[in-house]
């Protein structure tokens, strides 16, 4: 979007709210409703990749050294990675804002 959505006036919207620039969801960071974030303990992590596999939003990626981390622009803090992690290497930490 050309500007943040809370700045649009009603007459500035397209007819039927059609989105003319496709793919602009990239600009929308959906992670901002998260109340807690996953944090990896690299001493326990076995690099098995289950967290990557189970993340429902595909926000977890592998780093160059083989460990995993979440893209916090899109992670919703659902905690599924924590539940699935066999060596219990991930914990949810409350966000401070």
Partner 1 sequence: MSAKGMEVSIAASVAAKLARVEAIAAYPITPQTHIVEHLADLVANGELDAAYINVESEHSAMSACVGSSATGARTFTSTSSQGMELMHEILFIASGMRLPIVMAAVNRALSSPLSIWGDHSDVMAARDTGWIMVFCENGQEVVDSIIMAFKIAEDRRVLLPMMVNLDGFSLSHVIEPIEFPSQEDVDRFLPPYAPLYTLHPDKPVTMGAFAMPELYTEAKYSQEMAIRNSKAVVKEVMDQFSEEFGRKYSLVETYNIDKADTVFMALGSINENIKTAIDLLKDDGKELGLIVPRLFRPFPADEIGEILKTKKKLAVFERVMPGGAMNGPLYNEIASLVIANGLNIQLENYVFGLGGRDVEPEEIMDVFDQVSTSSKITHADNKNYSVIGVRS
Contact residues toward partner 1 (CB under 8 A) are 5-6, 8-11, 13-20, 22
Q: Based on CB atoms, which residue is closest to partner 1, 2 or 22?
A: 22
Cβ neighbors of 27 (< 8 A, separation 6 or more) are 1
- Please state, in angstroms and rounded to a whole number, the distance separating the CA atoms of residues 50 and 86: 8
Q: Based on CB atoms, which residue is closest to partner 1, 2 or 18?
A: 18
| CA 54 to chain CA mean position, Å | 13
Considering the complex, what minimum distance in angstroms separates the CB of residue 93 from partner 1? 27
At 9 the three-state DSSP class reads coil
Q: Based on CB atoms, which residue is closest to partner 1, 16 or 56?
A: 16
């Amino acid at each position: 979007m050309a500007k943040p959505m809370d700045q649009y006036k009603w007459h500035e919207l397209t007819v039927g709210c059609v989105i003319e620039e496709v793919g602009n969801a990239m600009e929308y960071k959906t992670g901002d409703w998260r109340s807690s974030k996953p944090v990896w303990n690299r001493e326990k992590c076995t690099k098995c990749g289950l967290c990557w596999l189970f993340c429902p939003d595909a926000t977890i990626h592998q780093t160059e050294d083989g460990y995993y981390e979440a893209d916090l622009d899109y992670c919703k803090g659902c905690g599924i990675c924590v539940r699935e992690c066999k060596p219990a290497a991930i914990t949810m930490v409350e966000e401070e804002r």
